[in-house]
Chain A
Amino acid sequence: NAGVMQNPRHLVRRRGQEARLRCSPMKGHSHVYWYRQLPEEGLKFMVYLQKENIIDESGMPKERFSAEFPKEGPSILRIQQVVRGDSAAYFCASSDGRNQPQHFGDGTRLSIL
């Protein structure tokens, strides 16, 4: 029973490039959450999706960031025109209900040169 799968584990981009982070939820889970962890800080909520719908994106920066969870395939967190401040660990979690415990992936560590 595979857990939450994120790829890549490490992603290096130059300023101005695009970053795409992928997340496959646990089997049977239709709720996906993205969090960002900056150095020395806890996880900060970004967005909550439930199959093709964005439920809550109150933690997403207004520009350059977008997320999707298509009917088929993984959830994608997309960051356009990356800047140095986007360097962080991005974690995806999934659950089988909106008030159920969330299971986390290993994260993607994004580094911006």
Chain B
Amino acid sequence: AQSVSQHNHHVILSEAASLELGCNYSYGGTVNLFWYVQYPGQHLQLLLKYFSGDPLVKGIKGFEAEFIKSKFSFNLRKPSVQWSDTAEYFCASLANAGKSTFGDGTTLTVKP
């Protein structure tokens, strides 16, 4: 069975600080990986996805993530956060079964 774990439940940063959110998945086969963001009161939006190829994936709004197969990790990064990045971030894996498995989420608060 798949599982996804996100290490940090709540992260607080000041504007312009660098961000790295951890994500580890457990599935040993071919897996597709995603990061979603949920702004307060809004639906989940896709930030970026990894299917195959270059393990460094660039997404929207300056986010990127690196797939490291040997570590079963897919950490999300951003060099300089803004106040508008305050949101909840979910890592998810998708195996051939079609259903996504989500981590419990990380709440990011960026102080202006």
Contact = CB atoms under 8 A, between A and B. Distances in A.
Interface of A: 3-4, 31, 33, 35, 40-45, 48, 55-56, 58-59, 91, 93, 98-99, 101-107
B43 interface: yes
A91 B43 contact: yes
Chain B facing A: main interface SS: strand
A26 B9 CA distance: 31
B31 to A, nearest CB: 10
6 contacts: A31-B98, A33-B99, A98-B97, A101-B34, A101-B46, A102-B100
B99 A48 contact: yes
B100 A33 contact: yes
Interface of B: 6, 32, 34, 36, 42-46, 49, 90, 94, 96-105
Contacts, number: 60
Give the 6 A-B CB pairs with smallest separation, nearest first.
A98-B98, A104-B44, A42-B104, A42-B102, A43-B102, A106-B43
B105 to A, nearest CB: 5
B57 to A, nearest CB: 12
Contact of B99 (A4, A56, A91, A101): A56
A107 B94 CA distance: 20
